[in-house]
Chains A and B, each alone.
Chain A
């Protein structure tokens, strides 16, 4: 919210304090992590960690798929929900989009009549798969009142099963160059940043955004304020699914192959990025900018640990610790505010 200046008449204790955005502290953490790796980098490897364009590109590229998912998961968590199905939806969208992107001279194409299609069609198919999965999540949660954890857990298992059934366990390969272009160069990064920008605007400046926060802050009060909570929740989960669909399509394009094993654990990385980015699991609090920083922190950590040659197993342990530390810090900050 913009801080409007308040006329004196309204209050007796006006203290014009400089208010830092809530993302500032998490941004400092990002900077701190970068400085840490930079220092170790010069000490161990005799080269810069940060001032290496190639590395920066790879960091963002690797994280852009998680980032796309995290934007949707962020909105779900702001409403006080959770989405565990993202990783499986990535797989479902990846195999379906890939199946419509196969080249015509491949004899074992899944849909022999639908080959050499323009990239638009596989992309739309991937988005559609995600949208359906998300709408299913949302409808289950809104109509039956079951907890989001359970509904999306169900879909997590089911969507993975769908992907396996669809492919018969085989990779969907021999894809068109047209389709592969989606995952080339900086394209995934551009897709991620455009989506982040769109939903940043949606959350901050539209009625849809205001309602999202209101539902997360107090669902009962939101209903009494005339908000159609159920319809809104269906939309939120549908959007989260749609974004997972895009992420799945991009994943397939990057690998030039659609596989039912894609996207395993992506949902947890996305949730981790969202939580590190300052979104409260209780609902009602969170911003896209925070989530983007959270995604970058995860990316920098993965890349940095590899850079200083720390074993992948240690990396995971440290990553786990950092996620928990982020939530503890967040809780501590909230408690302090309340006093």
Chain B
């Protein structure tokens, strides 16, 4: 695809060469995935000796852009210039050799090898017999670390290091390739405050050396502390670049949120009944603390927050997948002990999990068996034998109601599209006739049509008096569907907004403390 972009006559490739001070420039990058434009002709510039933050909601296109810059994806259109010269990146190694290094959110170090071995992997110094020269290896590592003021012994094994120290090793490794462009994706997500301070010192040090650092973060205060400039992305489009000294936090949130949301969600007004689920001071040590909320019959409680804020963990605790360590759960005013999913099911709960493949589908089984899996716990069984006739009939009715597209109920679920798989899983839980329905990202990765059908169904269920807790990373979905919205940030409940008071700005404000 790079070959035809070079032959294409497009206005911005003919434009003036990049300015002298731009270290990395991308122009008109287009990346299309099946069914979605991930990046729509995006451009931006990284200057040498600056820290440039990328801002945007989940799904705005930041990660895709970084994957293109680090050679993981090839762009469908557009050009990348490094120090004014046009480059083509075919692989991450290619990018590394050209001086662009990415430090991933999930670290890629080998736990059983030493720090030095990890840093210089595939580039180990050899002695005259062709064996790895460990003395030289450790010396080189110590020199590198000294330069970056990192205080870690080169010969300890990675597995004995804290997450923060591993992060430092990753950074040193990236620098060791003489990279001029360093990309950091949420580097502070697992660090304590002092560790963050140390990391920032290292980053400032690198900046002084003239490196360009692209920094992805969801944390506003970090932005003002470390970044010189930032660029905002939204829905795959580049919005603006500003110097961080010129703007306020609210300006940035407004830029990130941007559009007005249209009323595309068939939320019905339904009578709200009594409190069905009451959660008091729910904690899971080290994950989330003091979560307190109620859901009433017929109510949809949306749950917003960034990825990693603990939303899914709360849902898992409510359903007994990973039981909470303290706090109380009451259903219809009666306290219940939920230590396993089976107990949650018995208490009238249902839980559509976030990850269809990992915790949802039985990929090798057919639609019938996938749909009937949860209800067998309570119903359709006499003396251990499954009442196949009535179960098959009810599953079929459910499949028709949800409009699952399939040649037959004995089709293996693996052969269905994501949206149809999701419908089957929704059907699995509806067959149990839950009083409380927990939906974790119910429309992730499915097409618009199936999305609308699931939204309609959720609304209908609320109309029938089901209490619904809906986690979603899609702002329009949360705003469009919920009666109230609770927002989480770093394991804490930062606020519950009423439908009439909630908008994207108020949610982002609570989600990005």
Partner of A213, one of B319, B365, B385: B365
Residues on B with C-beta less than 8 A from A5 are 408
A226/B374 in contact, CB under 8 A = yes
**Which partner residue on chain A sits nearest B373 by CB separation?**
A225
A221-B392 contact given A1-B366, A3-B408, A214-B365, CB 8 Å threshold:
no
In the assembly, what is the distance between CA of A3 and CA of B372, in Å? 15
A221/B360 in contact, CB under 8 A = yes
B404 in contact (CB, < 8 A): yes
Residues on B with C-beta less than 8 A from A337 are 412
A338-B384 contact given A220-B358, A221-B361, A227-B342, CB 8 Å threshold:
no
B408/A217 in contact, CB under 8 A = no
Residues on A with C-beta less than 8 A from B404 are 10
A206/B386 in contact, CB under 8 A = yes
A207 in contact (CB, < 8 A): yes
B374/A217 in contact, CB under 8 A = no
In the assembly, what is the distance between CA of A206 and CA of B369, in Å? 12
A6/B396 in contact, CB under 8 A = yes
B414 in contact (CB, < 8 A): yes
A224/B351 in contact, CB under 8 A = yes
In the assembly, what is the distance between CA of A217 and CA of B359, in Å? 11
A210/B319 in contact, CB under 8 A = no
A226/B366 in contact, CB under 8 A = no
A47 in contact (CB, < 8 A): no
Residues on A with C-beta less than 8 A from B377 are 225-227
A218/B361 in contact, CB under 8 A = yes
Residues on A with C-beta less than 8 A from B499 are none
In the assembly, what is the distance between CA of A221 and CA of B341, in Å? 10
In the assembly, what is the distance between CA of A4 and CA of B372, in Å? 15
Partner of B365, one of A7, A9, A223, A284: A284
In the assembly, what is the distance between CA of A225 and CA of B410, in Å? 20
In the assembly, what is the distance between CA of A210 and CA of B366, in Å? 11
In the assembly, what is the distance between CA of A213 and CA of B386, in Å? 14
A280 in contact (CB, < 8 A): yes
B410/A3 in contact, CB under 8 A = yes
B373/A210 in contact, CB under 8 A = yes
B113 in contact (CB, < 8 A): no
**Which partner residue on chain A sits nearest B412 by CB separation?**
A337
B406 in contact (CB, < 8 A): yes
Q: Nearest Cβ in chain B — how far from A336, in angstroms? A: 12
B369/A11 in contact, CB under 8 A = no
- Per-residue CB contact flags for chain B residues 107-133 toward chain A (1 = under 8 Å, else 0) read 000000000000000000000000000
B341/A225 in contact, CB under 8 A = yes
A13 in contact (CB, < 8 A): yes
In the assembly, what is the distance between CA of A15 and CA of B411, in Å? 12
In the assembly, what is the distance between CA of A205 and CA of B388, in Å? 8
Is the contact region of chain B dominated by helix, strand, or loop, or is it mixed? mixed
B428/A225 in contact, CB under 8 A = yes
Given contacts A6-B396, A210-B376, 9 further A-B contacts (CB under 8 A): A4-B408, A10-B400, A19-B410, A205-B386, A210-B369, A223-B321, A224-B359, A224-B360, A225-B428
A306 in contact (CB, < 8 A): no
Chain A residues 7 to 55 lying within 8 A of chain B, measured CB to CB, are 7, 9-15, 19
Residues on B with C-beta less than 8 A from A11 are 405-408
26 A-B interface contacts by CB (under 8 A): A1-B369, A4-B396, A6-B407, A6-B409, A10-B399, A10-B403, A10-B404, A11-B407, A13-B407, A14-B407, A14-B408, A210-B386, A218-B360, A218-B361, A221-B358, A221-B360, A221-B361, A221-B373, A223-B321, A226-B346, A227-B377, A282-B364, A283-B364, A284-B362, A284-B364, A284-B365
A266 in contact (CB, < 8 A): no
Is the contact region of chain A dominated by helix, strand, or loop, or is it mixed? loop
B317 in contact (CB, < 8 A): no
Residues on B with C-beta less than 8 A from A7 are 396, 400
A214-B369 contact given A9-B400, A223-B321, A228-B340, CB 8 Å threshold:
yes
Residues on B with C-beta less than 8 A from A282 are 364
In the assembly, what is the distance between CA of A338 and CA of B319, in Å? 33
B496 in contact (CB, < 8 A): no
Q: Nearest Cβ in chain B — how far from A78, in angstroms? A: 10
In the assembly, what is the distance between CA of A208 and CA of B374, in Å? 13
A226-B342 contact given A3-B410, A10-B406, A206-B386, CB 8 Å threshold:
yes
Residues on A with C-beta less than 8 A from B369 are 1, 210, 213-214
B345/A1 in contact, CB under 8 A = no
Partner of B341, one of A4, A205, A224: A224
A2-B365 contact given A210-B372, A210-B373, CB 8 Å threshold:
no
Chain A residues 161 to 207 lying within 8 A of chain B, measured CB to CB, are 205-207
A237 in contact (CB, < 8 A): no
A338-B414 contact given A1-B366, A2-B392, CB 8 Å threshold:
yes
Partner of A2, one of B340, B342, B358, B388: B388
B341/A1 in contact, CB under 8 A = no
Residues on B with C-beta less than 8 A from A205 are 385-386, 388
Residues on B with C-beta less than 8 A from A221 are 353, 358-362, 373
In the assembly, what is the distance between CA of A217 and CA of B414, in Å? 11
Q: Nearest Cβ in chain B — how far from A275, in angstroms? A: 16
In the assembly, what is the distance between CA of A12 and CA of B386, in Å? 30
B361/A223 in contact, CB under 8 A = no
B217 in contact (CB, < 8 A): no
- Per-residue CB contact flags for chain B residues 398-430 toward chain A (1 = under 8 Å, else 0) read 011001111111101010000000000000100
B167 in contact (CB, < 8 A): no
Residues on A with C-beta less than 8 A from B381 are 207
Q: Nearest Cβ in chain B — how far from A3, in angstroms? A: 5
In the assembly, what is the distance between CA of A218 and CA of B369, in Å? 12
B364/A207 in contact, CB under 8 A = no
Among B321, B359, B406: residue with most chain A CB under 10 A: B359
In the assembly, what is the distance between CA of A60 and CA of B377, in Å? 39
Residues on B with C-beta less than 8 A from A6 are 396, 406-409
A207/B340 in contact, CB under 8 A = no
Residues on A with C-beta less than 8 A from B374 are 225-226
In the assembly, what is the distance between CA of A285 and CA of B373, in Å? 16
A222 in contact (CB, < 8 A): yes
**Which partner residue on chain A sits nearest B408 by CB separation?**
A6
B342/A228 in contact, CB under 8 A = yes
B407/A280 in contact, CB under 8 A = no
A4/B392 in contact, CB under 8 A = yes
B368 in contact (CB, < 8 A): yes
B363 in contact (CB, < 8 A): yes
In the assembly, what is the distance between CA of A208 and CA of B381, in Å? 10
Residues on B with C-beta less than 8 A from A4 are 368, 392, 396, 408-410
Residues on A with C-beta less than 8 A from B407 are 6, 11, 13-15
Residues on B with C-beta less than 8 A from A338 are 414
Among B368, B372, B407: residue with most chain A CB under 10 A: B407
B406/A214 in contact, CB under 8 A = no
Residues on A with C-beta less than 8 A from B408 are 3-6, 11, 14
In the assembly, what is the distance between CA of A283 and CA of B408, in Å? 23
**Which partner residue on chain B sits nearest A284 by CB separation?**
B364
